[in-house]
Amino acid sequence: MESVRNSWQMLQTSIRTPSFLDLDVDCTAIGIASVNGPAVHFKKILFLEGEIHEEPETLQSHCASLLALWAAVRAPSLIDLGKCTCIGRRLLLQEPTLGRRFAVHATQLDENNLLFAVVSSTKRWNNVETAKNLVTVLVQHAAQIHAADDFQPCVPLEQIGAGLDWYQFTTREVEILKLVASGISNKQIARELGSSPNTVRNQIHTLFRKAEVTNRTELALRVAATI
């Protein structure tokens, strides 16, 4: 029963609770990092759910800034990073730019490493304490999973960038990989390449198999880690 409770599947369920839905959280990232002053080194991405930003490096860059802030205050923190160009939200809401808010909290694992959680939304959070409590509970839950004997990371950073040998892809597949990593939709990729969305969808599924991933998020991260 304990192994069921301490699972990433249960955590995935927990981020669909009314509290999360009320805050309109569209991206949740959990990982392990070392922080030395302003320098942040990401060691593992343990859990990532939500939209990938227009440039895959953007989320990691934001997380680094947030972790440096957290290391200074050592408390659940909220920050508004202003304009955001997340392509999913921009297309869905047909707005050029939106404000983006982040909540961050962490717990020290040892002298050099901490486990962090970051949640993000384009909705303005009126109840600041709710957002802080939410990310605090998320860190506690993630720390329990990390401490479990049967712990398996959801998205190990080493695996994201490992084994992506460019020689196994055709020139067209390399083009598609880079377009997927940029965060654009199948329809937009099809327009870029002068192809059909169905053809692009089939090509992306072939790329899943070649890159040994199961979804676009993992594929985008893997590409970003190797280019």
Q: pTM of the prediction? A: 0.61
For the chain, the maximum distance between any two Cα atoms, rounded to a whole number of angstroms, is: 53
- Check residue 155 and report its DSSP letter: B
Model confidence over 41-98: pLDDT tens digits? 877 778 877 755 555 556 667 777 788 888 888 899 888 766 665 544 444 455 555 6
Measuring CA to CA, which residue among 83, 142, 133 is closest to residue 103?
Answer: 133
Band of pLDDT at residue 107, cut at 50, 70 and 90? very high
CB 141 within 8 A of CB 28: no
Q: Indicate the residue type of 169.
A: F
CATH topology for the 2-147 domain:
Beta-Lactamase (3.30.450)
Common-topology check for domains 2-147 and 158-226 = no
CA 114 to chain centre: 17
Q: What is the spatial distance between Cα 135 and Cα 143, in angstroms, rounded to a whole number? A: 12
Per-domain boundaries in the chain:
2-147, 158-226
Model confidence over 123-181: pLDDT tens digits? 888 888 999 999 999 999 999 888 874 444 444 444 444 445 665 677 788 888 888 87
CATH topology for the 158-226 domain:
Arc Repressor Mutant, subunit A (1.10.10)
Measuring CA to CA, which residue among 136, 143, 113 is closest to residue 35?
Answer: 113
